[in-house]
Amino acid sequence: MTHVRIIARLDIKGPNLIKGVHLEGLRVVGDPHQHALRYYEEGADELLFIDIVASLYQRNNLSDIIKRAADRVYVPITVGGGLRSLDDVSRMMHSGADKVAINTAAIARPELISEVARRYGSQCMVLGIEAKRVAPGRWEAYTDNGRERTGQDVVEWARRGVALGAGEILLTSVDQEGTRKGFDFPLVQQVCDAVNVPVTASGGFGRAEDLAAIAATGVSGIAIADALHWKRMTLAEIKSHAAAAGLDVRPAAHVQVRP
């Protein structure tokens, strides 16, 4: 059986939890802290917080949100968006993050991957990749929340990032993100085949049937936002479908949040 982590993804803009389609057309969902607590109570294996405008404004404003969450939940927390230096990473780690996801700054200065891995360990250094299809079987890495082209081939960049010290990859399909049409399975398969570190697939989860198909690629994690935010499925339902499909998932036992 393939062990797969079910991860609740929370994209943040200012004080709000938001959701879009193709990382655009953003709608306010609500208070990120309350949603994070609900997902933890429902059995999320990890929480993923992304400040989606941080790279645009060259800063990450999630410290307070992370501190509040880390004080009340007991699953790993990954933080991404606008992290450009070891000082930025240190601030997030001291706020309670277990891992950091870096995309734009890693493209601009790949040495940052090695610096973070050396100081905090490869398990803390998650390479964020925003992928857009440019031809059949080919994808380009984008930055700045899917706005800017880099000219980097996604699969080649994934290999290089791991060689530099990344211990995990967060792979977001911009084409599928928010569409509910399923993951970009060929994209995920190629990246999983290319690297020997855990890969988390994000973007496109729509139906229970998507779980078995994406697990067959060899992913380690599945990041879900839309289905949770709009209550199309609970984490218990998602994990039940995953287990029925033959995936090894942690049971979604109810947990108590510390007051």
Active site residues: 11, 130
Is residue 154 within 8 A of residue 140, CB to CB? The reply is yes
SS3 172: strand
The answer to whether residues 131 and 139 touch, using CB atoms and an 8 Å cutoff, is yes
CA atoms lying within 13 Å on the CB side of residue 183: 28
Choose among 77, 126, 79, 92: nearest CA to 106: 126
Farthest CA pair distance, the chain: 51
Question: From the centroid of its chain, how far is CA 133?
Answer: 19
Helix (H) or strand (E) segment spanning residue 211: helix 209-215
Sign of CA dihedral 48, 118, 187, 139: positive
Taken in order 76, 233, 187, 109, the sign of the CA dihedral is negative
Residues in the chain: 259
Nearest CA to 233 out of 206, 213, 256 is that of 206
* Helix residue ranges per DSSP H, 53-198: 54-57, 63-70, 86-95, 104-108, 111-120, 154-164, 185-194
In this structure, what token pair is assigned to residue 179? Answer: 């569409």
